[in-house]
Amino acid sequence: MYANYLNPETFKETERILKSDDVSDAMKKISEKVLMGTTLSRGEFVYLLGLKDSPDRKALFRLANAVRHDNVGETVFVKGIIEFSNYCKRDCAYCGIGASCKIKRYRMRPDEIVKVAIDSAKHGIDTIILQSGEDPFYTTDVLIDIIKKIRNHTRRPVSLSIGERTPKELELFKKAGASKYLLKQETVNSRIFKSVHGSDYEVRISLLKALVKLGYIAGGGDIIGLPGQTLGDIADDIIFMRDIGVKMAGIGPFIPTQNTPLENYPSGSADVTLNAYACTRLAIPTIFLPTTTALGTLDPGLQYKGFEAGCNVIMVNFTPDKYRQVYRIYDNKRKVEFYETVQELLKRGKKLSFSVMKSLKEEELV
Ligand code: 5AD
């Protein structure tokens, strides 16, 4: 059959699921639909998102893993993040660097950002991510200059995670050489969005769509466990991302952060987060899907568990130490270091990209 040789692992896994006595009929039907490339319904995603440890949940993870294998292979992409400013004009209720948070603020100078990016590229990282609060200090021209310099010196893909900018700016950043942009929808439930986020829901959604239209490898994503959020909302997030055509998704649990309006609210569920990874992989088979630092903050082992649920990306931090402590979007944010991470990945038998392996060989680390 057509699907058989194009998706050998998915085929094998589906066969195994269909033969299992302890897997439910609902899960069997889902597995067949995934193999045939039929889109899953909202109800099916809600069912999968709610799975607790069970044969069905094991089947879900194995299926997501098979879909990952058949569509994006075995390589784990290691992306490097530089958090260059913690100034933010927004005031999101969950975030520790919102405008009204009384924290020490910093901005890296443009030449410092470029230098750190060039240093991080020496490790062969698969993408350089520039992240900050929404900080108008970095004007369009300043950012264009930074992007161009990094691209000229490193040739690595540059990804932006700097919040909302005008469509014109997004276009100019793309022309300057940025190829990826992460602008999480945070939640597609407009009522919840409006209650926790400091910006306009319609604008944000339209900007994310604009990124897709501009030809960016556009990233969406949500926070799992926002106040009032249901599994149905999370299913809607996944369907939304599938339908608008994002190619990356940052999905992490909510982490309560001191001195924010949501400080006393409980953390998001790690189980639901892992289920959301698996569902997102089923919904968008070729997606770049990081297992997030927020999940690792709940428990470092959990971050590696993400790879069993269909993830294929991890972000390591290259923000200079003196700034990193104050880039506190949430409390106890886990430090994800390059060497520690690649060693852990290799120990677990993961494949790394050619450029990362080459840098390790050059430094005689493998
Ligand atoms: N818990 C989890 N994720 C958070 N973010 C910000 N604050 C929190 C929090 N308290 C996420 C948002 C943002 C990304 C940079 O960090 O989703 O898009």
Backbone φ and ψ for 346, nearest 5 degrees, come out as -65, -40
Half-sphere exposure (Cβ direction) of 132: Cα atoms closer than 13 Å: 24
Question: Hey, CA dihedral for 285, 286, 291, 294, is it positive or negative?
Answer: negative
* pLDDT over 70, % of the chain: 99
Ligand 1 center–CA 94 separation, angstroms: 7
From-to residues of CATH 3.20.20.70 in the chain: 76-362
Ligand 1 center–CA 52 separation, angstroms: 25
Q: What is the pLDDT of residues 79-106, one digit of tens each?
A: 999 999 999 999 999 999 999 999 999 9
Cβ(13) – ligand 1 distance below 6 Å: no
Query: Does residue 314 sit in helix, strand or coil?
Result: strand
Q: pLDDT band at residue 4, thresholds of 50, 70 and 90? A: low
User: 14-28, 192-206, 217-231, 324-338: lowest mean pLDDT where?
Assistant: 324-338
Ligand 1 pocket: which of 81, 84, 92, 95 to mutate (most atoms within 8 A of CB): 95
Would you give the end-to-end CA distance of the chain in angstroms? 41
Q: What is the pLDDT of residues 166-211, one digit of tens each?
A: 999 999 999 999 999 999 999 999 999 999 997 899 999 999 999 9
* pLDDT over 90, % of the chain: 91
Q: What is the pLDDT of residue 333?
A: 83
* Number of Cβ atoms within 10 Å of the Cβ of 83: 24
d(CA 229, CA 88): 25
d(CA 263, CA 87): 20
pLDDT at residue 1 above 60? no
Average pLDDT of the segment spanning 206-230: 98
Half-sphere exposure (Cβ direction) of 96: Cα atoms closer than 13 Å: 17
Ligand 1 pocket: which of 92, 197, 223, 315 to mutate (most atoms within 8 A of CB): 223
Q: How far is CA 226 from CA 50, 208, 251, in A?
A: 16, 20, 12
Q: What is the pLDDT of residue 126?
A: 94
Q: What is the pLDDT of residues 335-366, one digit of tens each?
A: 788 999 999 999 999 999 999 999 999 888 88
Q: What is the pLDDT of residue 82?
A: 98
Closest CA to 241 of 211, 269, 272, 198: 211
For domain 76-362, the question of CATH label 1.10.10.60 is answered with: no
As beta bridge partners, residue 182 has 219
